[in-house]
Structure 1
């Protein structure tokens, strides 16, 4: 007690670490198949402490989507920059952007945002905003790489960079969905088909 008032209990967990754990849980199981009890067990934080510090299940999901957005786009942008600085051709960079994360064994299959779209569609404005924002940013990365490739005549000019980027992103989302469904897909083969299509 201090001045006649109880001091709030000191928080014993790290918000970022907890959101990271919860993000992977949602990624593995989806929103509707994840219970609050599972979130509590995964995070190791008491339910009331979670509510007080980070919010309810829906709020936690939105925070998980936000964290995924930041991590994924940062990783993609850094790798794109590294490839550009190494003098790699535009097709190599686009191959990276098309298949990034799809064959990794470090996280669940597919992409958390694609899973969110599949689960919610347009029924939840907050989730829709999060997924739209993410894919707009991803689209910008792809379109920029295509535009540079068109400028040095490595990429076809038959369509605008944005039109080509939208087609590539839609193909990636479709492939992610198939992977999430457990369908065995040859990611390298799909990637090569698109790179052949984009080649000048």
Structure 2
């Protein structure tokens, strides 16, 4: 008779996600994962898969959590009557400077570590950034409709520029650069303003 599972998959993946986020894929060993999760190695393999599979699960969890939080924050700001520029400021700087999580962004870290060398990681990152881009473009489109955001470029072109700037900041923060995120946000909002 197989042993009864004594852990919650979601809680374990959450812990492992933060470990990969902090240390990166290549600097995280299976022993680190076992220690952090509190689950025996064979039980992890049986329930959740190998290190690469765990990494993909961590990327998926990060994607779901981040995009859900962004969508909720957008709705909250819009219900409060905040401007499209306020929403865009939140999307630009959300999570860039906080002590509650590792610096940067798990997806930007994945790009830095893997580039295009792993098709599964590349798919996960592309899916995440496509969804984030869609959120930004929707906020820009609303801002253009209300004449708060410039119409000199399409909403998608502006969204791509804003996302690229965010990814660049995330990468620099991960490298330990001291960046005034609020100042960068103000520069981009001035650029977007109608």
Please report the TM-score for the alignment, with normalisation by the length of structure 2: 0.99
Query: In 2, distance between residues paired with 1:42 and 1:119?
Result: 21
Question: C-alpha offsets along residues 86-128 of structure 1, whole Å, 9 cap, x if unaligned?
Answer: 1100000000000000012110000000000110000000000
CA distance in 1 between counterparts of 2:37 and 2:22 reads: 15
Question: 6, 14, 17: which one pairs with 1:12?
Answer: 6
Residue 134 of structure 1: aligned partner = 128
Task: Please give the secondary structure, in 1, of the residue aligned with 2:12.
Answer: helix
Give the counterpart of 1:64 among 58, 68, 74: 58
* 1:54-74 deviation per Cα after TM superposition (whole angstroms, max 9, x unaligned): 000000000000000000000
Measured in 1, the distance between the counterparts of 2:131 and 2:99 equals 24
Determine which of 38, 43, 47 is the counterpart of 1:44: 38
Separation in 2, partners of 1:109, 1:174: 13
Aligned mates of 1:104, 1:93 — CA distance in 2: 19
Q: Are 1:194 and 2:188 counterparts? A: yes
Match of 1:147 in 2: 141
CA distance in 1 between counterparts of 2:32 and 2:178 reads: 29
1:8: how far off?
1.3
1:79-90 matches, within 5 Å, as 79-90=73-84
| Higher gyration radius (CA) | 1
- After TM superposition, the score normalised by the length of structure 1 is 0.97
Match of 1:179 in 2: 173
Aligned length: 194
Aligned partners of 1:152 and 1:25: how far apart in 2?
42
Q: C-alpha deviations, 1:156-182, integer Å up to 9, x for none?
A: 000000000000000000000000000
Q: CA deviation at 1:40?
A: 0.3
Q: Say what the alpha-carbon RMSD is for the aligned residues.
A: 0.4
Structure 2 counterpart of 1:76 = 70
Runs of 4 or more off by more than 2 Å in structure 1?
A: none
Structure 2, unaligned runs of 5 or more: none
Q: CA deviation at 1:80?
A: 0.3
